[in-house]
């Protein structure tokens, strides 16, 4: 699994694709056609629910079919970092509970 994630990261780096779930406002704005307003709209959208696919960009304010078709090759979607961190935290908490109950 780690190799798969590493592979995706290498491909995105080589091709310069921007991850919709983790990119900063500045990274989003580095894509031609994405200004401050669209970058902020992407960030607001993903704060409610991480992107599952690049096509979801069509649900974001300011992105119509033509814009989506033009930009879809500029983006990728990978699991967002906060979701991974929260999963690790939950697993860690579960282990603590088991240890505490044994004592």
Q: Give CA–CA dist 59/55, Å, rounded.
A: 8
In 31-93 the beta strands, taken as DSSP E runs, fall at 75-76
Q: Give CA–CA dist 65/101, Å, rounded.
A: 55
- pLDDT above 70 (res 27): yes
pTM (predicted TM-score): 0.64
- Give the chain's domains with CATH numbers: 2-102 (1.10.150.320)
- pLDDT above 70 (res 65): yes
């Amino acid at each position: 699994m780690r190799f798969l994630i590493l592979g995706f990261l290498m491909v995105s780096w080589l091709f310069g694709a921007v991850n919709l779930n983790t990119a900063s406002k500045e990274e989003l704005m580095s894509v031609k056609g994405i200004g401050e307003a669209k970058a902020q709209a992407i960030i607001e959208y993903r704060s409610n629910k991480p992107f599952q696919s690049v096509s979801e960009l069509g649900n974001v304010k300011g992105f119509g079919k033509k814009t989506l078709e033009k930009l879809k090759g500029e983006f990728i979607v990978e699991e967002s970092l906060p979701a991974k961190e929260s999963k690790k935290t939950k697993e860690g908490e579960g282990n603590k509970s088991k240890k505490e109950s044994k004592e």
